[in-house]
Amino acid sequence: MDGEAPDPTPPRNSLERWAERRERRRASDHWITGHRRALPLIPGGGASHLAPDQPRLLLERDEDGHWAPVGVAVDASAAAEFLNN
């Protein structure tokens, strides 16, 4: 060698690093959010605790990670039963 340092490994693309972080975050989000959801069916949306007697749309995550509707619960307690089974 003539005193020159070898070329360092080229820096990784920042988009590639972002994609790796995103996949790690999405994997952890799946664990946190679970595979079932219940969304209140109230005009204008809003916090579900403000309308416990209103119906809820029941959703389940499919194999591709998409949310698919599976039914409607009559109120918050019926939705909680769906979420906990």
Q: pTM, whole model, 2 decimals?
A: 0.59
The pLDDT tens digits for 59-74 are: 998 888 788 999 999 9
3-state SS assignment for residue 41: coil
Q: How does DSSP classify residue 73? A: E
The pLDDT tens digits for 4-20 are: 666 665 566 778 888 88
3-state SS assignment for residue 66: coil
> First CA to last CA across the chain, in angstroms?
68
Mean pLDDT, the chain, as a whole number?
80
